[in-house]
Structure 1
């Protein structure tokens, strides 16, 4: 039997946040470790868990292209950038997708790398390991199970039926068949349940920033929603609310502003910090920023369809989330005047972007913003949708209207808004209908506005079904629901995994 080895590639220190808390995680140097001999100290065990967070990060915007699969493939964004630059992203947008597509390859490789790192932890922290105290093992394994569940959630929603790898990859088990998505979801459910039981509500001291019970339960609720297990999704979302530690921020923008990124709405966020070596900053800040003096690459441009999704009151005052989310003519782009030549759609994204006063053009690719992976607003919308689909439409109104109230009350907290101090009449009023069909459409629209450009729209479109998807993507003639509801398993996997069955 070949000895089991793993290559653990870790550079410097990873910085990330969960539940709104900052954490610096020290990493070991690059090395090769025999699995049976590595987990001999708490320091080694912590380092292995820390490594499992690394694939979440966006220190290279084109190494973690979940933004391409999650939003450029949708009706919310197009590639942008220069014609011909990153052509495979444009091929995603146009649904001309080969198995060799670089974005398809990148997400597969990166997120399975996360699975592998989580499996390494779980393989080393078994009951037989007496070098690590049981209580420590429990929380480290809880983190690993949460991370594995998160990676698999993104993988199965991107690719559908995929290999389920639960052990460290070796020469003996690299070949693995694709299993039904239901089996992947079942594993996600188990991992989230186990993680929620093992993880604390919060961390203190040097451990601030790791995955928590709330993060595991939120991912579990989202998984139930995507499976159509609506009663369980609602119940689990309510468990998170009952923890009593998460709240919507007063200002929507607090979730996308560096100085307020540690807040009560952040359930699990991917932390980035500028100015470190090796680099740990958010590279999306440059990839998505306009070209020219702002030193961006101009990718990820919002669509007119997304802009039109934001509601207006009878006097024409638009949902303030529009201008928090999208840069457009007639409105400043942070501390720069908007230039229509920046974009082919008329719009640029503001999420994941910082003003030049915070990150100058010379270091544009080293941003300081987190990427919100799970936030309380998402949880409330999960609860609202699940309650409505489970036949309890009246109960769905409360979580839905919390989202709308926060949005319209931006006028009470943001003194940059014209008319600050008074909510415009008729803007984002509370929803009162209990018609399931009407409420379904309202919740879907609300979800699109609230979570716009947060890398999940395409997955929502697909789970809403063929009729919705074909309407949403009607401007993409190549889109076929049956063919394109999942991205193809990449050629690299097809070439090496002869048991794949695809």
Structure 2
């Protein structure tokens, strides 16, 4: 069973790999790497602190250059589960080229099998994280007398939070997993037991953390008592224990604070949650984030978001690699709003408000799309939720401050393969490249923190629970708080974001035509509040330029009224859809569909819709028919015939 990677001790000697793990600010995680250390070193006050650093590091499971801490490439065990939580859902496609990272095709098309190497890498790296948390607890127990009671309880609370967090991830991915704690004498544990053991352990760990962690922690990277209570509420939600979930959600909403002592509140502007310069001590929406850093001095990607190194625009982009993780047409269409500024959860794929079923784009559906030097005008007279353009890069709209998104020039494969859309939330602003971009490898590393749970997530989970207990007004209020923030015009994507890298900023057509551009340079016209991209030819001819209007003119969003929340089922659908919009591409969607019991219906709708538009999925793809992923066959084979033999999930037997 050694190769299963969930044993916290080897031959009676504690073994822990502790690579450098830094945050975007000075913190306890900024300590130098400790390498391999044995039990005699760790069994000390400093050794426990070292082990705790290693346990936090297990949440971003990366070893230099870009490998998982227990093997496989980092992108296979990414903390945001981009392949398992998003590409497997209706939000995103694998992207890139058909043959690159081919196992993700199987995940995307719901043809996954136990032999898919992505499942094995996820399993091994998550259990390495469990092992590290158990190591902290085992070592702490050996030297507890060197700490005050409050110090010991805090360290134990942090380690148990980490263990609960990782087991939560294992549970929602694989369902039946073996339980290994610091008290386990035999690490060959089965996963098919008569009584549920994982949820009670998660709850016990989170309850201890909630009751023993302080609010203000020595560093914002650490979990505090309110993070523990928020995840405890989420654990109850996943088990449909609505009243227990609400008790904790309401306490978190009314009284919760970040690890730096800032009361929980939605950030004034939506995009602040994904901006490395804003993810500091004042980040009020941060319930718990896995912190990343860009230029940490290690010369590697080990502390940046290495799990996302593939997931940037390719081609002519400034991001180097590699064209994966492309948002779907389905997701883009979901951001359409009606004349009242509201979405249509049950009809977003229909034509309404002047837009056709498919939002106008430069792909033009399985025919190769428009060439980069052909003119394209983004949809006008349309109506979109403004969160669309902080989530999805689409042609003609500012892509942060990197200029107007060029469509096909950012693609890696043909546009009919996966379309022209690209993800935004993990991408750094050019102006923040010092804190946002790690360029120590061919692959780009991001210093944008992964918001594992933010306050908007808490509000929307609480809204779900309120509906289940019949508190429709409270559910409406929570959803509208999220929508009101999205409606803040100060937080819209706007044309002025193109100014920073524009060839020129002018105030007339004559000034525009008097510039000396290279193909695909852009000029901002402030008199029109528009951006012009030079497509080639004669720059003094206005027909050589592609005009892109300010996207703000197409934004329309409003709040719900009680009339939309009179039906429990109708209100539930609206809350579910709000999660799709607010939390898109943040790693939650597939697990949400599973726990709602909506995966089969929604995914079959998606395959029919998306399969008519791109080649990477087909209209005849079907939902896999399982609300968990398969136990990796490699792990079953390793355990075969042993006392702790693993059993495949029934859906795959």
Matches within 5 A, 1:283-432: 283=306, 286-294=309-317, 295-314=320-339, 316-334=382-400, 335-341=402-408, 342=411, 344-359=418-433, 365-409=444-488, 411-414=489-492, 416=494, 427-432=557-562
* Structure 1 position 439 matched with structure 2 position 571: yes
1:3-52, CA deviations, whole angstroms, 9 ceiling, x for partnerless residues? Answer: 423321112233378xxx96534255222423xx4553322111111111
Q: Compute the displacement of 1:431 (Å).
A: 3.5
Is the partner of 1:293 in helix, strand or coil? coil
Judged with a 3 Å threshold, the aligned counterparts in structure 2 of structure 1 residues 307 and 426 are, in CA distance, closer, same or farther, namely closer
Residue 269 of structure 1 corresponds to: 289
* Structure 1 position 94 matched with structure 2 position 106: no
1:358-411, CA deviations, whole angstroms, 9 ceiling, x for partnerless residues? Answer: 4379556122100111100000001100110122222211111100111112x1
Matches within 5 A, 1:253-264: 253-262=271-280, 263-264=283-284
User: CA–CA distance in 2 between the matches of 1:481 and 1:380?
Assistant: 31
Please say if residues 210 and 228 of structure 2, whose CA atoms lie closer than 8 Å, have aligned partners that are also in contact: yes
User: CA–CA distance in 2 between the matches of 1:350 and 1:2?
Assistant: 43
* Larger Cα-atom Rg: 2
* Structure 1 position 147 matched with structure 2 position 151: no
Please say if residues 39 and 131 of structure 1, whose CA atoms lie closer than 8 Å, have aligned partners that are also in contact: no
Match among 618, 623, 629 for residue 487 of structure 1: 629
Judged with a 3 Å threshold, the aligned counterparts in structure 2 of structure 1 residues 154 and 13 are, in CA distance, closer, same or farther, namely closer
User: CA–CA distance in 2 between the matches of 1:392 and 1:478?
Assistant: 39
Match among 33, 42, 45 for residue 42 of structure 1: 45
* Structure 1 position 52 matched with structure 2 position 52: no
Judged with a 3 Å threshold, the aligned counterparts in structure 2 of structure 1 residues 180 and 462 are, in CA distance, closer, same or farther, namely farther
1:119-162, CA deviations, whole angstroms, 9 ceiling, x for partnerless residues? Answer: 11112223873233322111011001111111011111000111
Residue 30 of structure 1 corresponds to: 35
User: CA–CA distance in 2 between the matches of 1:309 and 1:123?
Assistant: 48
Judged with a 3 Å threshold, the aligned counterparts in structure 2 of structure 1 residues 286 and 105 are, in CA distance, closer, same or farther, namely same
Q: Compute the displacement of 1:238 (Å).
A: 0.9
Residue 200 of structure 1 corresponds to: 214
Match among 229, 241, 248 for residue 266 of structure 2: 248
Residue 366 of structure 2 corresponds to: none
Is the partner of 1:374 in helix, strand or coil? strand
Please say if residues 61 and 125 of structure 2, whose CA atoms lie closer than 8 Å, have aligned partners that are also in contact: no
User: CA–CA distance in 2 between the matches of 1:470 and 1:494?
Assistant: 31
Is the partner of 1:154 in helix, strand or coil? helix
Please say if residues 91 and 330 of structure 2, whose CA atoms lie closer than 8 Å, have aligned partners that are also in contact: yes
Is the partner of 2:559 in helix, strand or coil? coil
Identify the structure with the greater helix proportion: 1
Q: Compute the displacement of 1:282 (Å).
A: 2.0
Is the partner of 1:178 in helix, strand or coil? coil
Q: Compute the displacement of 1:423 (Å).
A: 11
* Structure 1 position 454 matched with structure 2 position 474: no
Residue 64 of structure 1 corresponds to: 77
Q: TM-score, normalised to structure 2's length?
A: 0.70
List runs of 5+ in structure 1 lacking aligned partners: none
1:441-478, CA deviations, whole angstroms, 9 ceiling, x for partnerless residues? Answer: 0000000000000011000011111x553333441745
Judged with a 3 Å threshold, the aligned counterparts in structure 2 of structure 1 residues 309 and 182 are, in CA distance, closer, same or farther, namely farther
Please say if residues 311 and 428 of structure 1, whose CA atoms lie closer than 8 Å, have aligned partners that are also in contact: no
User: CA–CA distance in 2 between the matches of 1:480 and 1:22?
Assistant: 45
Q: TM-score, normalised to structure 1's length?
A: 0.90
Between the two proteins, the alignment pairs up a number of residues equal to 490
Please say if residues 398 and 494 of structure 2, whose CA atoms lie closer than 8 Å, have aligned partners that are also in contact: no
